[in-house]
Amino acid sequence: MKVVMSDTQSHPDLSNALKVRMRIHASWYLAFILLIFVNVTQFPGDYPLWQRIAFGTAGIVVFFLTVVLRQFQLNLLAIHMGIPLRNVTLFTFGGATRVPRDTTRPGIELLMAGSGFVFNLIVAGILQWISLREPITSSPLIAALVQWSAFLWYILALFHLVPALPLEGGRILLAILWKSTGNYRIAVRISTSTGWGFGSLFILGGIAVFIFLQEAVNGLLLAFQGWVLLSAATQSRRWAKLYEALHNTRARDIMTREFPAIAPQISLRQAVTNYSMVTGQDYFPVAEKGKFVGIITLAGINRIPRGEWDSTLVEEAMTPAMKVFTVLADQTAAHTIEYMDQTGTHRVPVLDKKDEVIGVVIRDSLMNLARVRTALRL
C-alpha cells in the first residue's frame, strides 16, 4: 500500500517555516494610520476623500502582505541553514529574531542579510514593472497604488543599508565584527548600539524637519522610522545584555530540584494526592527508571474528568518527551533562555548525558539572575 505524503510533509523546511509564529509589533498599527494620513493629505485633491482613504488602506495592506512574504522567505532560508526559529517579531521593516548563538556563523549572517536585501530590490522592481503594464496603466488610481507600493519598497531597501541591528546592514556589521574580533558578544553589543544610535538620530532628524523646514509629513515619516528602529534595536540590545549576563552559567547551576519526577504508571489520583497536594507544585517531570519520558501538569490532569482519575495513568495524560523542550545540564543559561522564549515555555527539564532528568529550570529565576548580574555588571 502506498502512503501519499502531503506537500508540507515532503518538504520539512517548508513545514517548519509555516510553524514559525509571527508577532505583530505595535508599530504596524501606527503605520496604518500614518500612511493613510499621508495619502489623504498628499494625494491629488481631485480624488474624493473616500477614494484617498481607500487608496491608503489598500497600499498599506499590500505593503504588509509583501513584508510578511519577505519574512517567510527569510524564515525558510534560516531553517534550511539549520537555524531553529520558533517566533519572529514583525516590524514595519521586517522581522527581528533572536538567533541562538550556537546555530549561526558570520557567513550565515551575511547570507541572510544579502537575501533580505535582494528580496527588497526584487519586490520593488516587480511592483515598478507591474505599474507600467496594461491594463494597470489604463487605471490611473491603480497605477498610482502600485507605483506608491514600489516606492515604499525602494525606501525600505535604502533603510536596510543602515548598519544597525536588526536591519540587514546591521547583520552585515555584526558578521564583519564577529569575523574580525572572533567575539560574538562584542559584535552584538556594537551592532545593537548602532541601531539604538541611528534610531535616536532619525527621531531627532524628524523633529528638526518638522520644526525648521515646516514639512510635517516628511518629519513624521522620518521620526516614525526612527521610533521603529529604536524599538527593534532596544529589543535586540536588551537580549544582548541578557546573553552577556547568562552566557557563563550552566543549566545545572540554576536548576531547581523542587519538582520531583514521578512514575508514568501511577494514576492521576495518586499524582494529585501524593505529589501535587504535598509539594504544592503543578508541574512534574515523568521518568521511568530515571529516564525522562515526559511531563505532567495540573492543567493536563484537569482536562481528564475527575471520575476517571483513578483509572487513568499519568502516561496517558502526560506530554511525551518528544514534544517537550529540554536542555542538557552543561548547556548555558543563555542558550536555555533563548529556547524558552522561542518555544514560549516557562519551565524546562534538565537532563544529563544519559537522558535522566536531574532538575527543572524556571524562567523567572533565570530572569532574576540576569537582572542582578546586569545591575552588578558581572
Residue 98 has pLDDT above 80, yes or no: no
Assess whether 239 and 133 both reside in one domain.
yes
Residue 1 has pLDDT above 60, yes or no: no
Assess whether 331 and 228 both reside in one domain.
no
Assess whether 241 and 263 both reside in one domain.
no
What is the CATH number for 326?
3.10.580.10
- 278 inside domain: yes
Residue pLDDT, tens place only, 353-366: 888 899 999 988 88
Count of other CB atoms within 10 angstroms of residue 120:
25
Q: What residues contact 84, with CB distance under 8 A and at least 6 apart?
A: 100, 103, 339, 342
Assess whether 233 and 312 both reside in one domain.
no
How far is 241 from 345, CA to CA, in rounded Å?
21
Query: Domain boundary residue among 229, 246, 263?
Result: 246
Residue pLDDT, tens place only, 311-331: 999 999 999 998 888 888 888
- 50 inside domain: yes
Q: Please give the full DSSP string across 278-309, using - where no structure is assigned.
A: HH--SEEEEEETTEEEEEEEHHHHHTS-GGGT
Alpha helices (runs of H) in the chain, residue ranges in sequence order? 7-10, 12-19, 27-42, 49-80, 106-131, 140-159, 168-181, 184-212, 216-246, 251-254, 268-271, 277-279, 298-302, 314-317, 333-343, 363-376
Domain that includes residue 296, residue range = 251-376
Residue 310 has pLDDT above 90, yes or no: yes
Assess whether 234 and 266 both reside in one domain.
no
- Tell if the pTM clears 0.75, that is, is over it: no
Assess whether 229 and 153 both reside in one domain.
yes
Assess whether 165 and 208 both reside in one domain.
yes
Assess whether 83 and 216 both reside in one domain.
yes
Residue pLDDT, tens place only, 99-122: 656 667 888 889 989 999 999 999
So what's the pLDDT on residue 12? Answer: 64
So what's the pLDDT on residue 30? Answer: 85
Count of other CB atoms within 10 angstroms of residue 200:
15
- 240 inside domain: yes
Number of compact structural domains in the chain: 2
- 1 inside domain: no
Q: Which range (126-130, 185-189, 217-221, 239-243) has the least confidence?
A: 239-243
Assess whether 342 and 257 both reside in one domain.
yes
Assess whether 193 and 79 both reside in one domain.
yes
Q: Which range (35-39, 229-233, 270-274) has the least confidence?
A: 35-39
Q: Which range (124-128, 180-184, 241-245, 258-262) has the least confidence?
A: 241-245
The residue with greater pLDDT, 367 or 240, is: 367
Residue 4 has pLDDT above 50, yes or no: no
Assess whether 232 and 290 both reside in one domain.
no
Query: Domain boundary residue among 246, 272, 298?
Result: 246
- 111 inside domain: yes
Query: Which of 3-7, 198-202, 247-251 ranks highest by mean pLDDT?
Result: 198-202
- 102 inside domain: yes
Q: Please give the full DSSP string across 126-148, using - where no structure is assigned.
A: HHHHHHTSTTGGG-HHHHHHHHH
How far is 337 from 238, CA to CA, in rounded Å?
13
Assess whether 353 and 366 both reside in one domain.
yes
Question: What percentage of the chain has pLDDT greater than the value 90?
Answer: 24
What does the mean pLDDT of the chain come to?
83
Query: Domain boundary residue among 193, 226, 246?
Result: 246
**Chain-centre distance for alpha carbon 190:** 21
- 2 inside domain: no
Residue 345 has pLDDT above 50, yes or no: yes
Average pLDDT of span 30-51: 75
Average pLDDT of span 74-84: 82
Residue pLDDT, tens place only, 215-268: 877 788 888 888 988 888 887 777 777 777 777 788 888 898 888 899 999 999
